Structure formats: structure tokens, C-alpha cells
Structure 1
Amino acid sequence: MTILAWNVMGMGNKKTVLALKNSIFKFNSSIIFLGETKQKEKYMERLRMRMNFYNSFYFDPIGIAGGLDLCWKKEVVVSILQAEKNFINSEISVNEEEAWYNTFIYGPSYYDEKEKFWQSLSSLRGRNQKRWCIIGDSNIVARKDEKARGSLSI
């Protein structure tokens, strides 16, 4: 089983959609997490159907920012435990193997929202007794020279 996670920075571009389709085929992905889709659920639903992903959970963008899309194939069992604008917390199992917790994240880009985000993630761990994996984009950089765009505040 392969999980594909991508900060797509918008799914409205045909080249982005083609790159996503190619990646799904190349890696034979069973679960896909897209952060920052910037699209409403109807658009993403049509896209998912074209890629043969019929199970999904979607968190709409707020205005033109954000949007989280988690979709999975039929051999995977995903239970959504909690979702907010920056994460989807789930329990996943494949072929009746032991389940694990997986939190798919797209961290806030604004400095004043980061502490609350990390506190939310920390509280999730306190409840989880199974294996736990975090996948996505935390929007955290260690040094200013790692940042290519946007504000230099980290």
C-alpha cells in the first residue's frame, strides 16, 4: 500500500491534474492526501471519480485558501476521527491488519496560527495508543534560507 501526499497549491491547473494522475499510476497509490486544493468539493469529487477513488473525506477551503482532500481505494478502511481546516485525523487498516492512526496535515502558513495547530496535534497523540503517523506539509522551516517564497517570518 502506498500513500501519496502533496501540497498541490491549487488543483485548477490541467498540468497539476496530469501530474497527480501520473503520480498515482507510477506509485500505485491506495491513499491520496492533497493539501491546499483551493477547490470546492464538487470539483474534487469529479476529479476523484475520474481517478477511480470512490471513498473520500473533504474539508472545503476557506475563501480561496486551504482545502484538504483525503481519498482511498476500496481495499483500505479509513475512519475519520476528527477534522479541522489544517488536519484530518484518521484510523487506517488494510487487509484486516492491525490499524494505525494517521494524521494528514497542511499546517497554517500564518505565524499567529502555528502554536494552536501544534497544540491540537499534541492533544491528538495523548488519545492515541496505536501506531501513529503524520503525513503532509507542516509549513515549518528551520532556517530562513530554506524558505523560497512568502514572508520570511518562521
Structure 2
Amino acid sequence: MALMSWNVRGLGNKETVRALKNDAFKFHPSIIFLSETKQKRKYLEKIRRNMKMENSFYVDPLGIAGGLALWWTKEVNITILNAENNFIDAEIVYNGKEVLFATFIYGPPYVEDKQVFWDKLSTLRSNPSDKWCIIGDSSIVARQDEKIGGANFDVSQARRFFEFLEKSSVLELPIKGGNFTWSNLRSKGDAILEKLDRILANIGWSTLFPKAIGILVVAITSDHSPIFLLLKGLNKRSKKTFKFESKWLLEEDCSLNIN
């Protein structure tokens, strides 16, 4: 089973929809989480049905801002436990018997909302034996080496993030394919690169899926790149895929212009 998470920065353009379909085709995710959809359900449902995802749950955007979509196939049984503008919390029955918990996040961009967000997440699991994974846009730079360009990262926000990790007993899983998941889509001296999208898991989840691995696939139709969580790891027989290192955007010979 694979999970996909992507802050799409709006699904209103055909290139983004095409990129979504192409990336999903590579890894065949059973669960797709999209944030910042900026679209009404009727439009999103057309895309979901075209992608053969049988089930859906939505948090509608506020005007033309935000919006969450969770799609899943008939291979998994999902019950939505809680949902707000910045997260969807779900129970997943895996292989017909294993009960898992997954929280799909879209971290608030404003500093004044971040503490409330992490406080809410920390209350979602009260049973330490729950197998729990968190995936999505954290909207947090946790370390200085997770950022190139722009102002220094916010130490106080990073501290809150690590306090959440400790309180919730979750650790961050590595993501292969690049060091940064967000870019301001500029090149050379104006480029800013950050790691914002993350996969977190507690011991119970990590023990159940010891080969799980995160994969980043660079997209130029959004400022965020989609990430995949492959629970059984990479298929050794599959062909090697081209890996784009996001810091290449800083090189003079690599120009990226998005209008």
C-alpha cells in the first residue's frame, strides 16, 4: 500500500491535474491526500472518478483558499474520525484486520495559528499502542539545513514542532529524492528552498512497516512537491527513476520560469 500527499496549490489548471495523474500512475497509491485544492467538490469528484479512486472525503475551501481532499480505493477501509481546515484524522483498516491511524495535515501559514494546530494534533491519540502516521505539509522549517535562501528559519516555531514530536512520541521518517519539498519557483539568487512536507510515525507504525520509505517527486506545477509513503519499500525489480535535486535550482545553468 502507498499513500500520496500533495499541496497542489489549486487543482484548477490542466497541467496540475495531468501531473497528479502521472505521479499517481508511478506508485499506484491506495490513498491520495490533496491540500489547498481551492476547488468545489463537484469538480474534484470528476477528477477522482477519472483516477479510479472509489471513495472520498472533503473539507471545503474557505472562498478560494485552502480545501482538503482525501481519496481512497476499495482496497482500504477508512473511517473519518475528525476533520478541520488543517487536517483530516482517519482510522484505516489494513489487510482486513490491522487497525491503523493516519492524520493528513495542511499546516496553517500564519504564526499565530501554528501553536493551536500542533496542540490539537497532540490530543488526537490518547492510546500509546495506536499505530499512527502523520503525513502532509507541516508548514514548519525544523532546522537551518532545511532551508536555503530567504530569512533564517524561525527557532521558536521549530521548538514547538520538536515539543510536539516528543509529546506525541512520533519520529520523522526520511524522504528520498531531494532535500527540499517547497520552492518559491525562482532561480539563481532569488531562489528559496525549504523542507515543509513531512512523514511522521510512532513506534507502533514503524514496527509494522519496517521497510516503509518516503519518496519525493519534484513537480513544477505547484510550489510543493508531492511525497509518497511506500509501506513495503521500493520494488527492487522496478526501473530506476530520475531523481531531481531541488538545490539544482540555485545553479546558474538551471532556470525555472513559471508564469
Which residue does the alignment assign to 2:78? 78
After TM superposition, where is structure 1 displaced by more than 3 Å over at least 4 residues in a row? Answer: none
Report which stretch shifted further, 124-133 or 72-81.
124-133
2: CA distance, partners of 1:123 / 1:137: 19
Which residue does the alignment assign to 2:25? 25
CA contact (8 A) 1:101 1:128 kept: no
Q: Secondary structure at the match of 2:65?
A: coil
Which residue does the alignment assign to 1:55? 55
1: CA distance, partners of 2:91 / 2:132: 9
Question: Residue 38 of structure 1: CA displacement?
Answer: 0.9
Which residue does the alignment assign to 2:190? none
Which residue does the alignment assign to 1:69? 69
How many residue pairs match? The answer is 153
Question: Residue 41 of structure 1: CA displacement?
Answer: 1.0
The superposition leaves residues 97-152 of structure 1 with CA deviations (integer Å, 9 ceiling, x where unpaired) of 31111000001011111011001001112256410000101101134982778xx8
The superposition leaves residues 26-77 of structure 1 with CA deviations (integer Å, 9 ceiling, x where unpaired) of 1011110001111111111111011111201000111111111000001110
Which residue does the alignment assign to 1:110? 110
- CA pair 15-37 structure 1, distance change in 2 beyond 3 A: same
Question: Residue 94 of structure 1: CA displacement?
Answer: 2.4
Over the matched positions of the two proteins, sequence identity in percent amounts to 55
What are the equivalent positions in structure 2 for 1:99-138 lying under 5 Å apart? Answer: 99-126=99-126, 129-138=129-138
2: CA distance, partners of 1:101 / 1:66: 23
- CA pair 119-64 structure 1, distance change in 2 beyond 3 A: same
Q: Secondary structure at the match of 2:126?
A: helix
Q: Secondary structure at the match of 2:48?
A: helix
TM-score, normalized by length of structure 1? 0.91
User: RMSD between aligned alpha carbons?
Assistant: 2.1
CA contact (8 A) 2:10 2:36 kept: yes
1: CA distance, partners of 2:146 / 2:74: 42
CA contact (8 A) 1:141 1:147 kept: no
Structure 1 residues without counterparts, runs of 5 or longer = none
Which residue does the alignment assign to 2:147? 146
Look at both structures and tell me which one has the larger radius of gyration over its CA atoms: 2
1: CA distance, partners of 2:149 / 2:35: 19
1: CA distance, partners of 2:24 / 2:7: 15
Which residue does the alignment assign to 2:42? 42
2: CA distance, partners of 1:30 / 1:121: 24
Structure 2 residues without counterparts, runs of 5 or longer = 158-259
- CA pair 148-57 structure 1, distance change in 2 beyond 3 A: farther
